Amino acid sequence: MSDAHEPDGQDTGARHVSVRQRHAEMIRMVRETGFATIQSLAEHFGITPQSVRRDINTLSAKGLLQRYHGGAGPCLSTENMDYLDRKVLCLAEKKVIGRMVAEAIPNKSSLFINIGTTTEEVARALGGHKNLRVITNSLNVATILTGNPEVEIIVAGGLIRHHDGGIVGEAAIDFIRQFKVDVGIIGISGIDMDGTLLDFDYREVRAARAIMENSRQVFLVTDHTKFGRNAMVRLGNIDEIDALFTDQAPPASVLEQMRRGGVELYVGEGSDQEN
């Protein structure tokens, strides 16, 4: 059954878009304007204010919008959403991204893979690869890769974050700096419209920065919800990476930064058909 219509049957005049598409456009509008009223969103999408409120509640629960009286604004830049929520958010899209990255990684490669729910899907997609050497500061990535006996796994030491299995701190950074690998695969919490790469944890950013500086190529993996998303810690700029793997084309301003930096773009297809 199509999800283009609301279950209460009140929005028969709505523009024919899926709920997924409407949510993505709603996030974009709020991030671009800084605040959107319930009434303006209802008029834009041709749906009832009640339906807009439901959408805002859903997106707020996922950490994608901040709910306010009478409308919605961008999320706060100081706190990331819970790991378990991030793990299921855009899971189909992350699986597509993971497969794209795996196709770009030849056998007998050396890799850094950092912390993140999207990088975990990359690790799963590497299940058929042979003779890989992977250095990671993520216990989850390491555990996933143990399913492939053809992968040599090297785990950084340091402080373990209980909520997501990430390993951070000076010991992890010093460990990463001992290596020089073919490809560093990193995730990100947000990409500003000027191409700035943003995250929430200063310690995680320092580890990711060490990965970037010690990789011959850097692959950034992220789904479309990260474009325009706020976070307060700066990792770098998108023109410092070699390739972006995502599920939807970035905004025009980000694409321009990528063009100037010679960054390759890989956009996954078929994510809407994933289960």
CATH number, domain containing residue 179: 3.40.50.1360
| Together in a domain, 88 and 194 | yes
| Together in a domain, 65 and 177 | no
| Together in a domain, 63 and 109 | no
| Together in a domain, 169 and 245 | yes
pLDDT average, residue stretch 46-66: 87
pLDDT average, residue stretch 197-225: 93
pLDDT average, residue stretch 86-108: 87
Model confidence at 88, pLDDT cuts 50, 70, 90, reads low
| Together in a domain, 91 and 133 | yes
Residue 129 has pLDDT above 50, yes or no: yes
Residue 8 lies in a domain: no
Say how far residue 171 (Cα) sits from the centre of its chain. 26
Instruction: List Cβ neighbours of 33 (8 Å cut-off, separation of 6 or more).
Output: none
| Together in a domain, 132 and 226 | yes
Structural domain including 125 reads 84-269
| Together in a domain, 96 and 59 | no
Check which CATH number belongs to the domain holding 35 and give it: 1.10.10.10
| Together in a domain, 161 and 256 | yes
Range of weakest confidence among 38-42, 55-59, 81-85: 81-85
Q: Which strands form 233-237's sheet, in the order they lie side by side?
A: 190-191, 196-199, 233-237
| Together in a domain, 127 and 202 | yes
Residue 1 lies in a domain: no
- Boundary-marking domain end, from 49, 73, 97: 73
Total structural domains in the chain?
Answer: 2
What mean pLDDT is reported for the chain? 86
User: How far is residue 87's CA from residue 117's CA, in Å, rounded to a whole number?
Assistant: 6
| Together in a domain, 27 and 144 | no
Residue 245 lies in a domain: yes
CA gyration radius, the chain:
19
